[in-house]
């Protein structure tokens, strides 16, 4: 009366919802391994063999037991297929609307979707060079917001490290930035 399912197959079938009695009934019918479910073929046939089986359990069992047909949709209705999008390293996305730019895009062009500058040209607080992106192509410094460029220049004069300045500006509270702006205003007089 014991089935010939392997221990792993028994464990998986129990996890799918079959009981020991249902496994034994399948064994008595000659279903003694995962390959035998190919002969059963459909949920309807499995339900005819085991009338007390829940249709959802039957669907899960056959989803596990049967190899998926090439190009077939997922067995569970509404289950999304995982999507993976791989873009090449030269792809540019708009900084405003995140729309992918065409291959003939050059820095400074306007976005084809929203019409704003897709990749703003920033000025480096460290070396003074300008360019698109998040990092200076000349010295490697992380660009700071244009509105905070005077603050970054002040911190550079104070002797802070190149990598420390953007981090400190991002972590600074409004009061700390206001104190730095006060120092900038006093230095301009």
> 130-131 and 122-123: which strand pairing?
antiparallel
114 and 138 share a domain? no
Its domain, for residue 15, covers: 7-65
Same domain, 157 and 184: yes
Q: Do 115 and 147 lie in a common domain?
A: no
Q: Is 135 helix (H, G, I), strand (E, B) or coil?
A: strand
Say whether both 111 and 135 belong to one domain.
no
Contacts of 90 (CB under 8 A, 6+ apart): none
Which has more pLDDT, 129 or 82? 129
Give 96 or 189, the one with higher predicted confidence.
96
What does the alpha-carbon distance between residue 148 and residue 169 come to, in Å, rounded to a whole number? Answer: 8
Residues 128 and 180 in one domain: yes
Q: How many domains does the chain have?
A: 3
Contact 47/55 with Cβ under 8 angstroms? yes
Do 114 and 131 lie in a common domain? no
Question: Which pLDDT band holds residue 134 (cuts at 50, 70, 90)?
Answer: confident
Asked whether the predicted pLDDT for residue 71 surpasses 70, the reply is no
Token digits for 17? 């919802």
| Residue that is last in its domain, among 120, 142, 161 | 120
What does the pLDDT average to over 98-127? Answer: 87
pLDDT at 178: 93
Query: What is the value of pTM for the model shown?
Result: 0.45
């Amino acid at each position: 009366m014991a089935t010939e399912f392997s221990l792993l197959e028994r464990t998986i079938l129990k996890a799918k919802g079959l009981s020991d009695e249902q496994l034994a009934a399948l064994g008595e019918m000659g279903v003694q391994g995962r390959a035998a479910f190919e002969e059963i073929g459909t949920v309807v046939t499995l339900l005819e063999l085991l009338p007390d089986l829940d249709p959802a359990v039957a669907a899960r069992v056959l989803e596990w037991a049967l190899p998926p047909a090439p190009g077939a949709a997922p067995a569970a209705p509404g289950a999304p297929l995982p999507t993976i999008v791989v873009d090449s390293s030269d792809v540019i996305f708009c900084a405003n609307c995140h729309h992918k730019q065409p291959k003939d895009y050059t820095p400074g062009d306007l976005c084809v979707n929203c019409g704003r500058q897709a990749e703003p040209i920033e000025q480096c607080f460290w070396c003074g060079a300008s360019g698109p992106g998040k990092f200076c192509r000349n010295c490697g410094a992380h660009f700071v917001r244009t509105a905070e460029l005077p603050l970054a220049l002040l911190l550079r004069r104070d002797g802070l490290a190149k990598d420390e300045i953007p981090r400190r500006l991002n972590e600074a509270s409004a009061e700390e930035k206001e104190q730095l702006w006060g120092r900038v205003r006093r230095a301009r007089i």
